[in-house]
Amino acid sequence: MTYDVAALRDRFPALRDGTAYFDGPGGTQVPDAVARAVADTMTRGISNRGRVTAAERAADGVVVAFRDAVADLLGADAATVVLGRSATALTYDLSRTLAADWAPGDEVVVTRLDHDANIRPWVQAAARAGASVRWVDFDVSTGELSPDAVAAQLSGRTRLVALTGASNLIGTRPDVRAVADLVHAAGALLHVDGVHLTAHAPVDLADLGVDTYVWSPYKLLGPHCGVLVGRRALLERLRPDKLLPSSDAVPERFELGTLPYELMAGTTAALDVVAGLAPPASDGSPATRTRRQALLAAMAAVEQHEDRLRERIEDGLAELPGVTVHSRARRRTPTLLLTFAGLDAADAYRSLAAIGVNAPAGSFYAIEASRHLGLGDTGGLRVGLSPYSDDADVDRLLEGLRAFTRGVTRRR
Ligand SMILES: Cc1ncc(COP(=O)(O)O)c(C=O)c1O
């Protein structure tokens, strides 16, 4: 069961100009409630966190609400939800902290399916520690990254495996649980980049079996910031660089400087919008359902809605001459990477933009994946679906691509 997409779209001021946004994998549009929560947090009486003044308590309340909301989204322990500037910044910080006890002879495993944010921080940290890096490839013909391919790179010296929950370039969703079991049997840690996955599917960190996980709220209707969560016992053990007077509690130990309360409030508001997409509970009463249950049901509905639109796009593309769809894995997000025989994907991007259809071309920082696919650093045209995408958007995309492959750019 899905949700009322038209009612959802009404909540996005950005959608009123008629643009069809297929660039959600780069960051989604934002509902009015999120912008309002950001503004309200900046205009109410608020100061640094504390319990004495009302303004201090307001800041504290924002932080607690944020951690609870993210914990509900991911099935995480709220006391392990860390706010950071971006997933990239959080991964860099974590890599430096973990690498503090890596030594020459230790090994770190990264994959060619990943966004560079889950490759370079580990490669650079390994180089500084004198540890070596082992690479896992995905199968270009199927788009799959198999647990066996990860197993082949594990050894008694593996300290950490960094894996994406889903590729932001071709949508592949590796079997994270199977990889987690292999990694743990080898005595190593599994860090998962959940930035793309979290925007498209229900997530349960305990089911996935990860040790640490990052996500970026701006990929799912929220503001620009990043989140790290991890197993509590692990976070308690880690000793990141921090200022002497700042809290040494977890998760504050990992949060450098004063928190952006407005972005935290915006994230909570975004997750409340998402939770509101849940179909009615089986007994018809929303009151009996926790927000965690609502978020799981909502993300299942988002997945179903986006998969239906993805299939419509794939059917339409199959009728176009010379189009290669590189997104082929059995389990994948609704993120399609396209190239065109004899035509430049960057021209498709410009041609679609001229009719108000936003689908950018590039390799989107998944540069190893793009090179491995034989697309160099140029990549292809990325068509990504979001919770607010609708059939009319898909019609316009397909019409634009039909015109492009015929060599014609039609104006709306
Ligand atoms: C899969 C994936 N990982 C990591 C990132 C980086 O996220 P951030 O901008 O929060 O650093 C992105 C952003 O596009 C992404 O798609």
* pTM confidence score: 0.97
Given this model, what pLDDT does residue 409 score? Answer: 44
pLDDT in tens, 99-146: 999 999 999 999 999 999 999 999 999 999 999 999 999 999 999 999
**Cα 411 to ligand 1 centre (Å):** 33
- pLDDT at 37 exceeding the cut of 90: yes
pLDDT in tens, 358-375: 999 999 999 999 999 999
- Ligand 1 atom with the shortest distance to the CA of 224: 10
Ligand 1 within 6 A of 167 CB?
no
pLDDT in tens, 343-354: 999 999 999 999
In DSSP terms, 86 is beta-bridged to none
Ligand 1 within 6 A of 136 CB?
no
- Triad 14, 20, 25: Cα angle to 5°: 85
Q: Do 112 and 88 contact (CB within 8 A), yes or no?
A: no
Residue with tokens 């880690």: 238
Given this model, what pLDDT does residue 280 score? Answer: 85
Ligand 1 within 6 A of 226 CB?
yes
**Cα 218 to ligand 1 centre (Å):** 10
Mean pLDDT for the chain overall? 96
**Cα 286 to ligand 1 centre (Å):** 33
d(CA 232, CA 227): 15
- Ligand 1 atom with the shortest distance to the CA of 89: 11
- pLDDT at 59 exceeding the cut of 80: yes
Supply the residue whose CA is at minimum distance from atom 14 of ligand 1: 26
**Cα 316 to ligand 1 centre (Å):** 29
Given this model, what pLDDT does residue 149 score? Answer: 98
- pLDDT at 65 exceeding the cut of 50: yes
Which one-letter amino acid corresponds to residue 105?
A: G
Given this model, what pLDDT does residue 407 score? Answer: 80
| pLDDT category of residue 278 using cuts at 50, 70 and 90 | very high
d(CA 395, CA 12): 20
pLDDT in tens, 279-323: 987 766 666 799 999 999 999 999 999 999 999 999 999 999 999
Q: What is the mean pLDDT of residues 183-208?
A: 98
